[in-house]
Amino acid sequence: MTDAAPKIRIRGLRKAFGSKIVLDGIDLDVMQGTSMVIIGGSGSGKSVLLRCILGLIAPDAGSIEIDGVDVVALSSRRREAVIETIGMLFQNAALFDSLSVWENVAFGLLATGRRHGKRLSRAEARAHAGRMLEQVGLDPSVGALYPSELSGGMQKRVGLARAVAGQPDILFFDEPTTGLDPIMGAVIDGLIVDCVRRLGSTAIAITHDMASAQRIGDQAAMLYQGKLIWQGAASSLLDSGNPVVDQFTHGRREGPISMELRR
């Protein structure tokens, strides 16, 4: 146990779309240097939670503190400065098709540099992108290619290289293994763990993939009916003792979740 303040501290977070309550009072602490995996069924609100933390959706109520600062209450300009410190790997890697691989990897660095008046030359940015590509197991020569020339696994690696290029304090992973075969999924998870450890980052991942959740996560939490109904060690996901979590993680048709669907 530690008395340290959490890197990310969420309290009473609520978000509804019309009459649909998606987040119904979320409390979550993510400690510095730990990886938290959020699991939950389709439409349970995992992406909405992530988007609230990223400031892309305004919550109806509650606080989201990053390093003790409530980002919900910040002006959009100051919030952007905090959000710049978060690296994000999107579900489909979300690469820009019209940019080369190295330009994709360096995109955030170049944009942030411009905003802060620190001009990074294209040669410096390209060299940095090459080093990032090497860190995710790609040859720097891949930097000259375009996303459409890459396999799905390579695109994920490039997305990861982009997410870590600015050496972020915080990393978010949205369904990092979706669309990959199980071996490539395991490879990407291994790279994610390497990157998070090397940077000492705090990470939040959302996933449906239980093998991935256990590989990436130190801690895990399950979102169900707008609430985090369980939190514990990611290693205990398959043995949580919670009937809802158990049904979900084992993919059982019968259990409290299917009973509700029948109602």
Ligand X SMILES: Nc1ncnc2c1ncn2[C@@H]1O[C@H](COP(=O)(O)OP(=O)(O)OP(=O)(O)O)[C@@H](O)[C@H]1O
Q: Find the shortest distance in angstroms from Cβ 39 to ligand X.
A: 9
Of these, 12, 43, 190, 243, which contacts ligand X (CB under 6 A)? 43
Nearer to ligand X, 23 or 138 (CB): 23
Vertex 246 angle, CA 187 and 33, to 5°: 45
Q: Find the shortest distance in angstroms from Cβ 22 to ligand X.
A: 4
- Amino acid, res. 194: D
Of these, 35, 44, 100, 249, which contacts ligand X (CB under 6 A)? 44
Nearer to ligand X, 130 or 185 (CB): 185
Of these, 7, 36, 45, 213, which contacts ligand X (CB under 6 A)? 45
> What is the number of other CB atoms lying within 10 angstroms of the CB of residue 96?
12
Nearer to ligand X, 52 or 161 (CB): 52
Nearer to ligand X, 58 or 259 (CB): 58
Q: Find the shortest distance in angstroms from Cβ 25 to ligand X.
A: 15
**Cα separation, 164 vs 195, whole angstroms:** 7
Of these, 7, 9, 46, 79, which contacts ligand X (CB under 6 A)? 46
**How many residues interact with ligand X (rule CB under 6 A)?**
11
Binding positions for ligand X, 3-42, rule CB under 6 A: 17, 20, 22, 40, 42
CA 57: distance to chain centroid? Answer: 16
To the nearest 10°, report the CA torsion of 93, 97, 102, 105. Answer: -30
| Burial (CB count within 10 angstroms: exposed 0-12, middle 13-18, buried 19+), residue 63 | middle
Q: Find the shortest distance in angstroms from Cβ 85 to ligand X.
A: 23
Any contact of residue 217 with ligand X (CB under 6 A)? no
Binding positions for ligand X, 47-86, rule CB under 6 A: 47-48
Nearer to ligand X, 47 or 242 (CB): 47
> What is the number of other CB atoms lying within 10 angstroms of the CB of residue 139?
9
Q: Find the shortest distance in angstroms from Cβ 40 to ligand X.
A: 5
For ligand X, which stretch binds (CB under 6 A), given 45-53, 113-121, 160-168, 210-218? 45-53
Residues that bind ligand X in the complex, under the rule CB under 6 A: 17, 20, 22, 40, 42-48
